[in-house]
């Protein structure tokens, strides 16, 4: 067998094209090894070769999922690779969704073994961990070396059609696949052993982890919107000019509660965004593009809604830990409930 | 956040551009928006048209809030 042919997918940032201002970069293919591809190449030694790198801006992908997918599939097809690798995406949400979407499509539509890599809280992980091998990485590019060390062996195994070990052995996120195997102890014995360990407070590993479905059933609809108090909440980092609470541009540790009494329109003078995960130019020009205060004021004046709640709540949803987002959500929900708010418009960028 | 506010007993409509993420985080009422850096606007339009577009999106969100749903529902623009 000759060298394994690999096509690698990365975003505009890892390709060195630019940051958020270049996130609308359209899919492009280059016959060279770029960014994290260099580390992969070193890891592959002579076994595999990256024949092309496909680059796409994260916003372009997120806003044009179907078109981007089609364009990129065509590019991949041209090289007829033995293996497709996307990422690693770490905790970059749009990038993770792009990596998962495209690796899933290459695997299922072109029949080419694929894998990607990202942090377990990346939304792309939840979306695709069942259908794809996703190597579990740290939450930032500081984990690149560790990621590459796990990607390379799994990638080679996949390309060669070798047997894949368990998530623990290979370093991928559990896919919920059960495999039969023979063991010298029967179930009852193993169950009793587990129970004894549990009673002693020792560590034990379950053989069948319960899936964690956390869904909240929808609340009843608003009966009379013309009497309802509506509040705005956003993860788009909207803040009063100057960001008085210093909400972090990524991995936010807090949210803000801001009084908009008397404000009928957001302008570059009274509002801006603190978000570091998208190009802030448009939000800073007119923050109504993130939180529609102007329109809700009009609707309030026209009697189409009861009232726009006096405060809006905002945080930055950029690499923010799920645990923090949950905490913010709980506190905001409680506050809004106590204030008698009837419904919430939550905007995300 | 969407989920925790819904859990507090307040109906939430999530206005966002990347709908698959919204579905993954568990929003129940979803209105797709324009673009990631400007969900509720489009800098290519003149200010009047842009505000009209924003109003349509917000009106759609209000419709979503007034609609009974049993499961995650995406309210596309009509």
What DSSP assignment string belongs to chain B? -HHHHHHTT--EEEEES-HHHHHHHT-SEEEE-S-SS-TT--TTS-HHHHHHHHHHHHHHHHHHHTS--SS-EE----
Q: If you measure CA to CA, which chain A residue comes closest to B67? A: A221
Locate A30 and state its tokens. 């280059």
CB contact under 8 A, B38 and A289: yes
Residue A222: its chain B contacts at CB < 8 A? 11, 65-66
Contact A292, B40 (CB under 8 A): yes
Angstrom distance (rounded) from CA A341 to CA B10: 8
Contact: A329, B3; criterion CB under 8 Å? yes
Provide, as residue numbers in chain B, all residues whose Cβ is less than 8 Å from the Cβ of A101: 20
CA distance B46 to chain A (A): 13
Q: Which of A99, A101, A124, A221 to mutate to test the interface with B (most CBs of B within 10 A)?
A: A221
Task: Measure Cα distances from A95 to A62, A86, A92 in Å.
Answer: 8, 9, 5
**In the predicted model, what is the mean pLDDT of residues B8-12?**
97
The model carries a pTM of 0.80
Please give, rounded to a whole number of angstroms, the shortest distance from the CA of B75 to a CA of chain A.
Answer: 14
| Pairwise CB contact (< 8 Å): B12 & A349 | no
Nearest C-alpha neighbor of A6 from the set A81, A115, A92: A81
Q: What is the mean pLDDT of residues B49-67?
A: 97
Write the ipTM.
Answer: 0.97
CA distance A323 to A348: 18
- How many beta-carbon pairs below 8 A join chains A and B? 203
d(CA A113, CA A256) in angstroms, rounded, equals: 45
Inter-chain residue contact B1 with A59, CB threshold 8 Å: no
- Please count the other Cβ atoms lying within 10 Å of the Cβ belonging to residue A244: 10
Closest Cβ opposite residue B8 in set A94, A214, A333: A333
- Give the residue from chain B lying closest to A218, CA to CA: B28
Contacts of A326 in chain B (CB under 8 A): 1, 3-4
Q: Is the peptide bond before B76 cis (omega within 30 degrees of 0)?
A: no
Residue of A nearest to B73 (CA): A218
Instruction: Name the token pair of A147.
Output: 């990621």
CB contact under 8 Å between B10 and A330, yes or no, is no
pLDDT of residue B66: 98
- What is the per-residue pLDDT for A322? 87
Using the beta-carbon criterion (under 8 Å), do A219 and B71 form an inter-chain contact? no
Is B54 close to A94, i.e. CB distance below 8 A? no
Q: What is the pLDDT of residue A71?
A: 97
- CB spacing of B2 vs A127 below 8 angstroms: no
pLDDT given at position A213:
65
Arithmetic mean of pLDDT, B63-69: 97
For residue A123, which of A327, A317, A328 has the smallest C-alpha distance? A317
- DSSP letter at A236? B
Angle, in degrees to the nearest 10, between helices A293-301 and B47-65: 70
A226 neighbourhood in chain B, CB within 8 Å: none
How many structural domains compose chain B?
1
Residue that the structure tokens 């945080």 belong to: A315
Domain, as residue range, for B63: 2-74
What pLDDT sits at residue A24? 94
Chain centroid to Cα B9, Å, comes to 19
Least confident of A210-214, A269-273, B53-57, B60-64: A210-214
Interchain pair A347, B16: CB under 8 A: yes
CA distance B48 to chain A (A): 12
Q: Under an 8 A CB cutoff, do B10 and A333 touch? A: yes
Question: What are the structural domains, with CATH classification, of chain A?
Answer: 4-170 (3.40.50.2300), 225-347 (no CATH)
- The low-confidence residues of chain A, meaning pLDDT below 50, are none
- What is the predicted pLDDT for the residue at A241? 96
pLDDT band at residue B62 using 50, 70 and 90 as cut-offs: very high
Task: Report whether B44 contacts B57 (CB < 8 A).
Answer: no
The DSSP secondary-structure symbol of A249 reads S
Set of chain A residues whose Cβ sits within 8 Å of the Cβ of B22: 348
Verify whether the Cβ–Cβ distance B69 to A218 is below 8 Å: yes
Q: In chain B, which residues have their Cβ closer than 8 Å to the Cβ of A328?
A: 1, 4
The C-alpha of B58 sits at a distance from chain A's nearest C-alpha, in angstroms, of 8
The reported pLDDT for the residue numbered A212 is 65
CB contact under 8 A, B15 and A348: yes
């Amino acid at each position: 067998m000759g060298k394994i042919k690999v096509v690698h997918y990365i975003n505009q940032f890892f390709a060195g094209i630019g940051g958020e201002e270049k996130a609308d970069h359209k899919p492009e293919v280059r016959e060279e090894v770029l960014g994290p591809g260099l580390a992969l190449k070193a890891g592959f030694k002579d076994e595999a070769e990256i024949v092309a790198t496909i680059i796409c801006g994260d916003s372009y992908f997120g806003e044009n999922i179907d078109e981007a997918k089609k364009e990129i599939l065509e590019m991949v097809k041209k090289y007829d690779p033995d293996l497709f690798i996307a990422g690693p995406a770490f905790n970059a949400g749009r990038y993770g969704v792009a990596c998962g979407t495209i690796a899933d499509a290459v695997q299922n539509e072109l029949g080419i073994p694929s894998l990607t890599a990202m942090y377990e809280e990346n939304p792309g992980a939840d979306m695709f961990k069942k259908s794809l091998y996703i190597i579990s990485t740290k939450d930032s590019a500081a984990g690149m070396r560790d990621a590459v060390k796990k990607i390379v062996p799994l990638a080679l195994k996949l390309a060669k059609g070798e047997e894949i070990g368990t998530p623990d052995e290979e370093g991928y996120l559990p896919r919920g696949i059960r495999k039969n195997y023979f063991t010298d102890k029967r179930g009852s014995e193993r169950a009793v052993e587990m129970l004894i360990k549990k009673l002693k407070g020792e560590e034990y590993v379950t053989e069948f982890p319960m899936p964690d479905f956390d869904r909240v059933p929808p609340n009843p609809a608003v009966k009379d919107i013309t009497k309802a108090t509506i509040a705005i909440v956003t993860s788009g980092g909207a803040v009063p000019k100057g960001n008085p609470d210093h909400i972090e541009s990524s991995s936010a540790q807090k949210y803000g509660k801001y009084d908009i009494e008397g404000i009928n329109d957001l302008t570059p003078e009274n509002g801006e965004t603190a978000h570091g995960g998208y190009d802030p130019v448009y939000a800073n020009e007119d923050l109504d593009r993130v939180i529609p205060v102007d329109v809700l004021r009009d609707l309030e004046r026209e009697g189409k809604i009861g009232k726009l709640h006096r405060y809006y709540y905002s945080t930055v949803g950029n690499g923010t830990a799920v645990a923090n987002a949950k905490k913010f959500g709980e506190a905001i929900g409680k506050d809004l409930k106590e204030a008698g708010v009837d419904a919430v418009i939550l905007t995300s960028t | 956040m969407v989920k925790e506010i819904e859990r507090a007993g307040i109906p939430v409509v999530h206005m966002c551009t990347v709908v698959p993420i919204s579905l993954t985080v568990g929003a129940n009422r979803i209105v797709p928006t324009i673009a990631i850096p400007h969900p509720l606007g489009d800098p290519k339009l003149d200010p009047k048209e842009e505000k009209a577009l924003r109003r349509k999106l917000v009106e759609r969100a209000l419709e979503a809030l007034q609609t009974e749903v049993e499961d995650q529902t995406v309210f596309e623009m009509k």
